[in-house]
Amino acid sequence: MPQDWRRSLTSYILSDLSFLDALRCGEPPFPDLATALEAHRVVAAAYGAADAHESAEGRRRAPLASWATQLRS
């Protein structure tokens, strides 16, 4: 596995482990589902705004634009 992938994935793995550990111990995980969904909505809105700006200027669509559109719905 490339080193840059390893660094990136480590933070996700630790977050997942922390979430699962909280569930195992009967504690509320943080961030909770509502917080996580709101964060995803904010990111989707940012991608959507960037996509709309690029489309208005006739540029190529952002690679994650379809992903962001799906999250907004």
Per-residue pLDDT of 37-51, as tens digits, reads: 998 899 999 988 887
- Domain encompassing residue 24: 1-30
26 and 40 fall within a common domain: no
Predicted TM-score (pTM) of the model is 0.47
37 and 72 fall within a common domain: yes
Predicted confidence at residue 2, as pLDDT, reads 78
Question: Residue 66 pLDDT more than 70?
Answer: no
57 and 73 fall within a common domain: yes
Number of domains within the chain:
2
Per-residue pLDDT of 6-62, as tens digits, reads: 777 787 788 888 889 999 999 998 888 899 899 889 999 998 888 777 666 666 555
48 and 68 fall within a common domain: yes
DSSP per-residue codes, 9-21 = HHHHHHHHHHHHH
